[in-house]
Amino acid sequence: MKKNYSYLLLGLLAFACQPKETTPDYTAMSDDERLKVATEMAHNTIMVDGHVDLPYRMKVGGFTLQREILDVSVRTDGGNFDFPRSKEGGLDAPFMSIYIPAGNQQTPGASKALADSLILMTERLAETFPDKFAMAYSPADIEANFEAGKISLPMGMENGAGLEDDIANVEYFHGRGIRYITLTHGKANLIGDSSYDTVRLYNGLSEYGEQVVKEMNRVGIMVDLSHVSDDTFKDALAITKVPVIASHSSVRKFTPGFERNMSDELIQAMAKNGGVMMINFGGSFIDSAYSAGSTAVREHLVNWLAENNLSRSDSAAQAYIAEYTAANNPFPTVQRVADHIDHVKNLVGIDYVGLGSDFDGVGDSLPTGLKDVSMYPNIIAELLKRGYSKEDIEKICYKNVFRVWKAVEDYATAQK
């Protein structure tokens, strides 16, 4: 019996003749069309921000465990983060910075106590508004919260001083939900030297700091190398068995002499390690001209207020300040942030860059077009304009940091 292949051939021909899906040319779109696409991408893609300083803002704003004064479940006056603006911008997983000021290092026990209180505040936020926020301790948690329409609150400790002088606190804070630790902050601590500190106690990591990095690997906490000195950075890379992150650092090429940002050598070393660099949006981080420009504006306004016998709270002063600042705008733009992402991509590839805004942590220095969490579509639109693909955007928004996080989890699981 002969088989009839005619229907099969007709089916194959019909399939071959169907129009193929083509990738849109985002560069050919108008700015309005591109922003619409960028907004859809932001809402349909998991977006992780490596560093948002909301917990310390809540502390300064008067948040207590008994009564919430700063209510970020609704639109707030001031600050860069709240639930409505996060939803507008497509932000799904801002790493809550458990920030320990360097001054706390002077009093034994003060750093750990502050870390515990800020963790409790973050947990209270999720408990108080369970329909809006949820804690997250893994990429899987973020994915589940994203499907449920909730904003995840993963946590990172900014300043390893919170560990005090007890290596057991590494495991303790993992149990409390901390998933990265920034080894230092503004001053050298027991772990190592800081980029901001002129005093170099160890010329890199201390012996205790070496133990801390190894213990972080063992328990599953990402090593964050923002804020550390170049030597501390290199020492940590030499010791870690897993990829690292820089949760909120930018490119030193655009800010010569600013050690807080990462040099090309460090960017290349981090890429070789498999890590990810998450770009800080702060004005002084992305453009060396910002500091000089903002100082000039500030000096003019101080002198003008004195000459006119006005204070900043006077309505006439507020109008003049707004007008003068707009006319002499010292702020960089969203394009400058894209320049930093471009530099990392061109230097080491798209797999090693992410977003680490430092919202609520860099004051009013944020660039035009990225003033708060509602504005992430603007950076996505700018990247699309420069030829980035949808897959590139997904890597920047979450896939790169998820890759590192999962590698850290897998290594820790293998040690048990």
Question: Three-class SS string for 227-263?
Answer: CECHHHHHHHHHHCCCCCEECCCCEHHHCCCCCCCEC
Per-residue pLDDT, 325: 78
Q: Is residue 12 part of a domain?
A: no
Could you tell me if 264 and 305 lie in one domain?
no
Question: Three-class SS string for the chain?
Answer: CCCCCHHHHHHHHHHHHCCCCCCCCHHHCCHHHHHHHHHHHHHHCCCEEEEECHHHHHHHCCCCCCCCCCCCCCCCCCCCCCHHHHHHHCCCEEEEEEECCHHHHHCCCHHHHHHHHHHHHHHHHHHHCCCCEEECCCHHHHHHHHHCCCEEECEEEECHHHHCCCCHHHHHHHHCCEEEEECCCCCCCCCECECCCCCCCCCCECHHHHHHHHHHHHHCCEEECCCECHHHHHHHHHHCCCCCEECCCCEHHHCCCCCCCECHHHHHHHHHHCCEEEECCCHHHHCCHHHHHHHHHHHHHHHHHHHCCCCCCCHHHHHHHHHHHHHCCCCCEHHHHHHHHHHHHHHHCHHHEEECCCECCCCCCCCECCCCHHHHHHHHHHHHHCCCCHHHHHHHHHHHHHHHHHHHHHHHHHHC
Per-residue pLDDT, 19: 56
Count Cβ neighbours within 10 Å for each residue of 114-151 and write b for 16 or more, e otherwise: bbebbbbbbbbbbeebeebbbbbbbbebbbebbeeebb
Could you tell me if 74 and 119 lie in one domain?
yes
Per-residue pLDDT, 60: 80
Q: Is residue 13 part of a domain?
A: no
> What are phi and psi for residue 204, nearest 5 degrees?
140, -140
Q: Which of 145-159, 229-243, 305-319, 321-335 has the lowest mean pLDDT?
A: 321-335
Q: What is the CATH number of the domain that holds 175?
A: 3.20.20.140
Could you tell me if 322 and 211 lie in one domain?
no
Q: Is residue 4 part of a domain?
A: no
User: Across residues 357-385, what is the average pLDDT?
Assistant: 95
Could you tell me if 157 and 184 lie in one domain?
yes
Q: Which of 31-40, 44-53, 194-203, 305-314 has the lowest mean pLDDT?
A: 305-314
Per-residue pLDDT, 17: 59
Per-residue pLDDT, 10: 56
Q: How many domains does the chain have?
A: 2
Could you tell me if 176 and 294 lie in one domain?
no
Residues 6+ apart with CB under 8 A from 223: 180, 181, 183, 213, 216, 217, 236, 240, 242, 244, 245
Handedness of CA 40, 43, 48, 49 (dihedral sign): positive
Could you tell me if 189 and 308 lie in one domain?
no
Could you tell me if 295 and 409 lie in one domain?
no
Could you tell me if 168 and 293 lie in one domain?
no
User: Across residues 306-318, what is the average pLDDT?
Assistant: 88
Is residue 63 over pLDDT 60?
Answer: no
Domain boundary among 298, 331, 364: 331
Per-residue pLDDT, 67: 47
Could you tell me if 322 and 337 lie in one domain?
no
Q: Is residue 18 part of a domain?
A: no
Could you tell me if 256 and 369 lie in one domain?
yes
User: Residue 328 — pLDDT band, cuts 50, 70, 90?
Assistant: confident
Handedness of CA 103, 109, 112, 118 (dihedral sign): negative
Is residue 399 over pLDDT 60?
Answer: yes
Is residue 74 over pLDDT 90?
Answer: yes
User: Across residues 75-79, what is the average pLDDT?
Assistant: 89
**Domain, as residue range, for 238:** 27-284+332-415
Q: Is residue 378 part of a domain?
A: yes
Which position has the higher pLDDT, 326 or 32?
32
The pLDDT tens digits of the residues spanning 107-152 come to 999 999 999 999 999 999 999 999 999 999 999 999 999 999 999 9
Please give the distance of CA 194 from its chain centroid, rounded to a whole number: 19
Q: Is residue 16 part of a domain?
A: no
Could you tell me if 227 and 100 lie in one domain?
yes
Distance CA 358, CA 324 (A): 26
How many CB atoms are closer than 10 A to CB 267? Answer: 24
Per-residue pLDDT, 69: 58
Cα within 13 Å of Cα(214), Cβ side: 9
Per-residue pLDDT, 137: 98
Per-residue pLDDT, 41: 98
> What mean pLDDT, rounded, does the chain reach?
92
Per-residue pLDDT, 36: 98
Is residue 248 over pLDDT 80?
Answer: yes
Is residue 66 over pLDDT 60?
Answer: no
Could you tell me if 139 and 243 lie in one domain?
yes
Cα dist. 80→57, 102, 378, 383 in Å? 10, 23, 15, 22
Per-residue pLDDT, 312: 86
Q: Which of 23-32, 85-94, 100-109, 312-321 has the lowest mean pLDDT?
A: 312-321
The pLDDT tens digits of the residues spanning 165-182 come to 999 999 999 999 999 999
Domain boundary among 299, 331, 363: 331
Per-residue pLDDT, 416: 82
> What are phi and psi for residue 277, nearest 5 degrees?
-105, 125
Q: Is residue 324 part of a domain?
A: yes
User: Residue 164 — pLDDT band, cuts 50, 70, 90?
Assistant: very high
For residue 279, what are its two tokens?
């770009």
Q: Is residue 295 part of a domain?
A: yes
User: Across residues 365-376, what is the average pLDDT?
Assistant: 95
The pLDDT tens digits of the residues spanning 198-235 come to 999 999 999 999 999 999 999 999 999 999 999 999 99
- Tell me the pTM: 0.89
Per-residue pLDDT, 94: 98
